[in-house]
Amino acid sequence: MEPKKVKDLTKEFEKAHTLNGDRKYVLRLYVTGTTPRSMRAIKNIRKICDEQLKGAYELEVIDIYQQPMLAKGDQIIAAPTLLKKLPLPLRRFIGDMSDTQRIVLGLDLRTNGK
């Protein structure tokens, strides 16, 4: 089972790299059910992605109650947690994602005039 995961990640990496030469962001947001904090994190990350990445991203929202093995594999110890898998380097953000400037800077996004 583990070799299949590695193969899938390799395909994901290659797919992201060959997207018209543009940087494509592969993000994974871990949440805990439909708590207010989880819902706020989802809303905030979707807003940031829609405004800053304009379609050049893949966002996977994972409920750690539903898929605990994914959380274990990514060594998630708190939720909500956002992982930026691509482009490298890997980054982690913990919290409700309400500090937009911190997320934008951490994702290494350039904002217009800010």
Query: In terms of pLDDT, which residue wins out, 97 or 15?
Result: 97
Report the phi/psi class of residue 89: left, alpha or beta, with left for phi > 0 and alpha for psi in -120 to 50.
Answer: beta
**pLDDT tens digits for range 90-105:** 999 999 899 999 999 9
Per-residue pLDDT at 16 exceeds 70: no
Q: What pLDDT, in 10s, does the model give residues 24-56?
A: 999 999 999 999 999 999 999 999 999 999 889
Q: What is the pLDDT of residue 113?
A: 43
pLDDT of residue 23: 78
Q: What is the pTM of this model?
A: 0.76
d(CA 23, CA 114) in angstroms, rounded, equals 21
Say yes or no to pLDDT of 72 above 50: yes
Domains and CATH numbers, the chain: 2-106 (3.40.30.10)
Q: Which of 113, 114, 28, 7 lies closest to 79, judged by CA?
A: 28
